[in-house]
Amino acid sequence: MKAWRELRSALCLFFAAEPKRLAMGAALAALTVLMGMALLGLSGWFITATALAGLNAVSAIRFDVFMPSAGIRLLALGRTASRYGERLVTHDATFGVLASLRERLFRGWAAPGATRQLLARPSRLLFRLTADIDALEALYLRLVVPAGAALAAAVFAGVVLGAMSAWMGALLALWLIAAGWGIAAMVAMRARGPAVRRAQAMEALRARAVDLVAGQTELVMAGRIDGQRELLAAADRHLAEADMALNRLETGAGAAYGIAGTLALAAVLLAVGWLAGKGAIGVPGAALALLVAMTAMEPFAALRRGALEAARAGLAARRLAPRWTP
């Protein structure tokens, strides 16, 4: 709960600075995902329907190839345009928000009483002014935007398959949301410790490297140069251990998303096979359902990087919050 409050306070600052552009970027990301799913589904339906229509001359003559092909072209061009617009809007808005946060932080550190603390630990606080602000970028670009796009993909897949069978669409949407967000939440909870240790190790590594280079003469004269090198090596080892733990979590999350997507696809395959056997849907409709189900889990996989960095962003928000001034 504490971590969620930290993230929520940082997100409130984000959306207070650029609410319209941030919302537009998330909407464009969702639109890009939906267009990609629709493009693949329509293409599969069109290829299957064309193959079946070509089995006899009458159906081949009466089959309309122009509307589906026009839809495919429209979706392909629209997806490219929305992808470009999403990248442009989201990154421009994020950089604008980070610039305003940096200004607020500098104002906070310029306040009376803050100078003494800044002079006491200049390297550590400078690191936090730079790296911690950069860590907040992951909140929007790698957490909020992928989460919104994944939710839109689950709803779209549920609606498309629900048009063929209500229970199939509802079950697929519920499975996608539960598995997709559940895996991300589990990764975020398990990554909290390694992410915090990584941030602390990186901070220590940078500070000790600066001390070693800047105070090399004094360290040699005092006979502490070897001890400083050992401290630097220890910080590097701690950083490597934290990176290894995060890499294992990311690999496990990728495998979990792959398994969840495969299970969803297998279940949809069995369901559409049963519906096609009953005559409730045709073969082109079955191909459409399979392709939509196959692509529905992909947006959730993008959440794993955001889940890994959520704890780091929460730590950054907690460190910087006392100096955020309006």
CATH assignment of the domain containing 97:
1.20.1560.10
| CA-closest candidate to residue 95, choices 127, 135, 137 | 137
**Cβ proximity of 7 and 307 under 8 Å:** no
Specify the residue for token string 């799913």.
37
CA-angle at 311, arms to 235 and 95, nearest 5°: 100
| CA-closest candidate to residue 160, choices 299, 293, 273, 60 | 293
Which residues lie closer than 8 Å to 258 by C-beta, 6 or more apart? Answer: none
> Which amino acid, residue 11?
L
The confidence band for 320, taking pLDDT boundaries of 50, 70 and 90, is: confident
> In this predicted structure, which of 107-116, 138-147, 233-242 has the lowest mean pLDDT?
107-116
| CA-closest candidate to residue 33, choices 96, 89, 75 | 75
Domain count, the chain: 1
- Residue 289 pLDDT exceeds 60: yes
Q: Which domain holds residue 141?
A: 2-323
pLDDT tens string 46-94: 888 888 776 676 555 676 777 888 889 999 999 999 999 999 999 898 8
- Residue 325 pLDDT exceeds 60: no
Report the distance separating Cα 239 and Cα 200, nearest Å. 8
Looking at residue 128, what DSSP letter applies?
A: I
**Cβ proximity of 107 and 81 under 8 Å:** no
CA-angle at 11, arms to 173 and 4, nearest 5°: 70
Tokens of 252: 């496990």
Which residues lie closer than 8 Å to 310 by C-beta, 6 or more apart? Answer: 3, 7, 138, 139, 143, 188, 191, 195
Which residues lie closer than 8 Å to 3 by C-beta, 6 or more apart? Answer: 192, 310, 311, 314
